[in-house]
Structure formats: C-alpha cells, structure tokens
Structure 1
Amino acid sequence: MERTGGERFVLVSFHAHPDDEALLTGGTLARAAAEGHRVVLVVATDGAAGLSDGPGGRQLAQRRARELERSARALGVARVVRLGHRDSGYAAPVEDRVDDRADGPVGPVFSRLPVERVAAELAQVLRQEGADVLTSYDARGGYGHPDHVHVHRCGAAAAALAGTPVVLEATVDRTLVRAALRVVGLLPGVVGEVTARRVGEGFTARQEITHRVDVRAHTAAKRAALTAHASQSETGGVRGVRGIGLLLLLPRPLFRRLLGREWFVERGRAPGGRPLDDVFAGVRGR
C-alpha cells in the first residue's frame, strides 16, 4: 500500500462499536497511516451495551469513548468521529433492551435506525474527507450482530450518496475461523456451542475474498489498540477471560502469526485469482 508517485489517499473506516476497529481492521489502519495515507475512524454506537465487570450504561459509554481515543492514537488515526447512537447489544432481543443513560424517552437502538439517516451522517464525513476508500462489514456482519449488519447496509448506502469509489467490507476467512474454533473447542467452557455455531457460520468463504492484507509489520500497533479496550478484555466475575483478553494472552510471535492478515471483500469486484494486498488498488492512477 506504499504511496507511489506521491499518491496520498484517504481511508475512512466505519465500525459498529469501540474495539471493532482494532479487531477487524487495526493492522490495515496502522499500515495505511504508517505509509502516509490519511485514516479516519467513524464509530456508530456508544458501546454502552458492551461487556464490563464495572458499571454499564452511561459510565461504560464514557469509558469506551476514552478507550477508543487511545486505540486510535496507537493506530495512527488522524480523526475520530463518534456518531453516538445507542448500542443494540446482542444477548437480548432488541425490543427488550433498556437505556439507563438518560431520563425520559430515548430513541431507537442503532440497528433500528433508518438506513437513510445513518447513511446521510456517514456520507457527510466521506464528503468532508474526500474519501477514496470506505471500509464497512460483510453482509453477515461477521458473526451476525445486528449493529454489524446495519453497518454493512448503511456503509453501502453512504458510499453511494457520497460517490466514494471503493467500499471494502471487512471480514474473516471462514475456513480459518472454523479451524480456530476446532482448536479452542478443545478447551472446555471457553466458547459455548451457540457461539461456536454462530461464528462458524458467519464471515466469508475464502473464494469470495478479494483482499488479504499483510499487516504483520503492524501487529504491535494492533496489539496496543486491542490493549486500549480494557473494558472488553477484563477478567474476573462470572464471565472470565473475554475475546480480546484471550487474544492478548497469546505470545507476541504467535499473535503476529495469527493476526498478521486482515480480509476484505470489495463491492463490485469479482473474486478470483490471488487476493490483493493493497486496499488502495482500486483507486490508484485515477
């Protein structure tokens, strides 16, 4: 993704919750920033429904906003935009969730907002930045979280509104996910049956992937970004070690090996052949 002929591109990365940017695209954002491109991060929700051993609701949202800023600095992000919509959560049905952050009526959770509304908000950022590339999520939202699925829908609509030429949908190679689940499944109690089934059926088949980005040189930045999201990796209580916490337990050489690639599907590009290692391939020379 190195700049050629003085080319400098703008990458806007759209995510559902604070910490998603580090998990799904942290290495790509760090690589783009290190190679001289402008990286902008847009996060749809406040993360108030995330996991925490401490207070939830408003206090958790404030804590996660601070964590997001630390993560963005670790990745070299030039600008962070928080849309501030209500986190839909995942465990309970959307209609059963309550919001304890404010008195009086509250609006719908993010996954229930009209696509047109969110797309207009994101399109404004895309136009302001003159974005060359937008990252969002695959059609499944990875593992099916309603906020992730909505990011997929809203990202596509926003790019169309703003005329952003390239949309890359962040995903994971499903073959590798299933292999990892088989290994983790050997450790009792780490991943439940329902979670394993949901994750194993999500993400993207290998033959559909258009980009496999080598981020091995930037896994230190990715690890620092993950570390910043301490509220989502804490141990203790009845929940034990969580997803990010498990990743951070990996020795650094193994972390680099396992998390040294990131995957995308480019909207409108037919898959086939060797996946691209350049998120700006679709805009070079335009």
Structure 2
Amino acid sequence: MTTIVFLHAHPDDEASSTAGSMARAARRGDRVVVVYATNGDHGEVPEDLHEGETLVDRRRSEARASAEVLGTARVEWLGYKDSGMTGWDMNAEPGAFCNADLDEAAGRLARILDEEDADVLVGYDWHGNYGHPDHVRVHPVAYRAAQLARRRPRVLESTANRDRMAAGFQAAREAGLEMDFDPHGPADDGNPMGTPEAEIHWAVDVTDVVGLKRQALLCHASQATDIGMLTGMPDEAFLAGFGHEHYREHGRPNGMQPGWPFTPLD
C-alpha cells in the first residue's frame, strides 16, 4: 500500500484537479490523504446557509463529502485564511496563506507527512496552475515540507495541460459553442494557464473514474458559479476535459508519458 498526500489550496480544488488520481489510488488500495491549506473563507457564499452556519462550516462539510465519494481516508487542514485573488485586500490579511512563514506552514504539513509516513506528496506547479496567491504558495510549501519530513516523499506537481486545453476550447468553438477563454492568455497572475505539454512529465488516465470526479465537484455545490459551469458540461466534453490529469516531476527529463507516478522513490 502506498500513502499519497495531496496538498490543495482550497476545498473544491481537489475535485477539479486531482480527484481522478485520488479515486484511482483509493480503488487500488492505496491510502489517500488530502490536506487543505485554507478553509476557502472567501469563496462564494450560498443562500441556503443554516442559522449559525458559516461558509467555512459549509465548505468543510463539502470537503468531507467529496472525500467519501473519492475514497479519501483522511482530511486535514493547515488552518490558514483564504488569501483571495491577486490584488484583493485579503492578500494582506494576517493569517492569509499567501503570507505564511514558509517553515511554519511546511512544518504543519511535515507533521502530517510523518504521521502518515507518506510515500508521495502532490502539490502544484510553480504558479499554481493559474496564479491564485494561495495556489502559488502551495508550491514552495510542498517542497519544503518534503525536506522537513523524516522520510522524504516523492514530490509531484499537479498542473494543467495548456495545449490540450487550448485544443479542447478550439474544438468547442468549431462546434458552435461560445468559448471566449484562452488558456494561452494571462491568468490571475498574468501568466498563461497551466504548463505546455512539452514541459509535463506524466499523463494519468482517469477516464474510468471520471464520473466520480463529477460527483466530487457536485459535493462543492456552495461554489455554484464555478462548479455549475464545470458539471454542466456535456458528458463528452467533460470526459475530454477531465479524463486525464497531468503532473510535473522535478529532475525528470522532458517528455510526457502515460503512466502511474504515485509510487515511492526507489
């Protein structure tokens, strides 16, 4: 059994990026742990909050529901505040994850890695796929935590295949759908979305569990705008867009290959 720890910035990030890999790992009998850096404090506030219920309460319960769908064995929280998008006032708030002391944040994660004796740690690429300050911060925190852990885990970077996304949007436009998003255009921090395929190392086929990925997204119903857009995609388009998940691995020669990278280092 392999123990794989996934570090995500906010509840729902696991569903849109690594849920397929998580579900496949759980089906294989591996132990899957998800750690959220923040509570998603500045997400979309639903209209149906119960009396006394906060957005954080709702998002934590949604994360637990997603874990049940995917077969995740443990859900943990680093306890930082959501930093909001680039340029928002929240970027400067005390306790915002984007300002977290690197060793302190990495130490919190390393304690979980040690408790789990983790074999693999999954973080994000250098700009967190689309430049959100919390996503960007995940990258160095993951690598530092791996250094601090008693047994250094294999580190993978979840990323988005920019070329595949661009081809998908172009195909949708040619089919008559209104698509004005360009993955090659500037995202939240001004950089393009994701990573060019030539700089990606692993493509993980999750087509057999893509239905679970959609279910995990639906668990995060409070974030109605984004989740509704994704889950509202026709089945064929959803499969094309979410049937593969992509990862980078520092030090590996360029060249994307299909496979299963969630195994311990030799």
Answer whether TM exceeds 0.5 for this pair: yes
> Which of 238, 243, 254 is equivalent to 1:255?
238
1:267 aligns with 2:250: yes
1:65 corresponds to which of 33, 57, 60 = 60
Tell me the secondary structure at the aligned position of residue 197 of structure 1.
Answer: coil
User: Post-superposition shift, 1:207?
Assistant: 1.0
Partner of 1:238 in structure 2?
A: none
Q: CA deviation at 1:281?
A: 4.6
The correspondence of residues 1-286 of structure 1 with structure 2, limited to 5 A, is 8-54=1-47, 59-90=54-85, 92-93=87-88, 96-97=89-90, 107-162=94-149, 163-182=151-170, 197-198=186-187, 201-232=192-223, 234=224, 242-272=225-255, 274-281=256-263, 283=265, 286=266
- Whole-angstrom distance in 1 between the partners of 2:172 and 2:103: 40
Distance change >3 Å, CA 23–CA 158, structure 1 → 2: same
- What's the offset of the Cα at 1:257? 2.9
Displacement after TM superposition at 1:52 (Å): 2.9
TM-score normalised by L of structure 1: 0.82
Cα distance in 2, alignment partners of residues 112 and 91 from structure 1: 13
Q: Which moved more, 1:208-217 or 1:155-164?
A: 155-164
What is the CA–CA distance in structure 1 between the aligned matches of 2:217 and 2:184, rounded to whole Å?
21
CA distance in 1, matches of 2:87, 2:112: 32
SS at match of 1:168: strand
* Counterpart amino acid of residue 219 in structure 1: V
Judged with a 3 Å threshold, the aligned counterparts in structure 2 of structure 1 residues 180 and 253 are, in CA distance, closer, same or farther, namely closer
State the 1:86 CA deviation.
Answer: 0.3
Percent identical across equivalent pairs? 39
Per the TM alignment, residue 160 of structure 1 is displaced from its structure 2 partner at its CA by 1.1
Letter of the structure 2 residue corresponding to residue 113 of structure 1? A
Residues 253 and 179 from structure 1, CA distance in 2 versus in 1: closer, same or farther, beyond 3 angstroms?
Answer: closer
Measured after TM superposition, the shift of residue 193 of structure 1 is: 8.3
Cα distance change, pair 77–281 in 1 and its aligned pair in 2 (3 A): closer
- Three-state SS of the structure 1 residue aligned to 2:84 is coil
Partners of 2:182 and 2:258 lie apart in 1 by 34
Q: Secondary structure at the match of 2:29?
A: coil
| Distance in 1, Cα, partners of 2:249 & 2:183 | 30
Deviations 1:5-57 (A, max 9, x none): xxx1000000000000111100000000001000000001010111234389x
The change in CA–CA distance for 1:265 and 1:197 in structure 2 (over 3 A counts) is same
**1:177 partner letter:** M
CA contact (8 A) 1:134 1:164 kept: no
**SS state of the match for residue 198, structure 1?**
coil
Q: Which secondary structure does the structure 2 equivalent of 1:88 belong to?
A: coil
Gap change, CA 1:223 and 1:15, over 3 Å in 2:
same
8 Å CA contact 2:39–2:82 kept in 1: the answer is yes
Aligned residue pairs, count: 258
Cα 1:98–1:53 shift into 2, 3 Å: farther
Q: Deviations over 1:92-132 (max 9, x none)?
A: 43xx2399xxxxxx733110011111100000001110111
Change (3 A) 1:68 1:195: farther
In structure 1, distance between residues paired with 2:32 and 2:245 = 16
Distance in 2 of aligned mates of 1:136 and 1:179 = 25
CA distance in 2, matches of 1:279, 1:194: 25
- 2: distance between equivalents of 1:30 and 1:37? 10
- Contact 2:128–2:139, Cα closer than 8 Å, also in 1: yes
The verdict on how the C-alpha distance between 1:228 and 1:183 changes in structure 2, with shifts beyond 3 A counting, is same
